[in-house]
Amino acid sequence: MIKPSVTAQHIKGYESQPSPVIHENSSDDLNPTVLPVTFLDAVSPAIMIRHPARFIPSFYRAMLRSMKPGSPPMEETQWPVDFSLKWLRLLYDYYTNHRSQTPLIIDGDDLVNHPDVIMDVFCERNGLDKTKVQYEWAPVPLKSETPYDRLVTAFKGTLNSSKGINKAAVSR
């Protein structure tokens, strides 16, 4: 959701390509996203972080699973864009320096190890009913018929096939 021109400024050798779908007119030149400022001001920002030693291999595996069999390998030139935490930092800095809200930072391991504590804070901050939070659920059947289905399955497959929080997926 980061503007292509912002991406190009931060990644050496990355060339911004014009997009017929994404327009960079956000009514705020400092806004690094393609989302309008009215939207950014209407939401309570929360940023979940994971240790790079966990999220990079996980993201890479999901990208490989999402590719059609026989596809050429991922281009290494794309890795600095896909695996960077810079985009979260840009969003955090934008909110803290130019908007009236400070994002809630959620450590993914803390969320897994102490979900009730983290979700209580999240719900309180956002005016949500904490009694509605589910810590267990029924698995969701997945289909992989179209390229979009493969992408969704690759990135949400573990979540959709789970029955609850997997405490084995923590960094510590």
Residue at 151 is within a domain: yes
Strands (E), 17-116: 46-49, 104-107
Domain of residue 57 covers: 46-161
Residue at 77 is within a domain: yes
Per-residue model confidence (pLDDT) at position 130: 96
Residue at 19 is within a domain: no
Residue at 36 is within a domain: no
Per-residue model confidence (pLDDT) at position 12: 54
What distance in Å separates the CA atoms of residue 145 and residue 40, rounded to the nearest whole number? Answer: 34
Per-residue model confidence (pLDDT) at position 55: 78
Which of the 8 DSSP states describes residue 76?
G
Residue at 32 is within a domain: no
Residue at 26 is within a domain: no
For the chain, the domain total comes to 1
Residue at 20 is within a domain: no
Dihedral pair phi/psi, residue 59, rounded to 5°: -65, -45
> Please, what are the averages of pLDDT over each run of 10 residues along the chain (172 residues)?
59 50 56 86 90 81 77 69 80 90 92 95 94 93 71 78 83 60
Per-residue model confidence (pLDDT) at position 86: 83
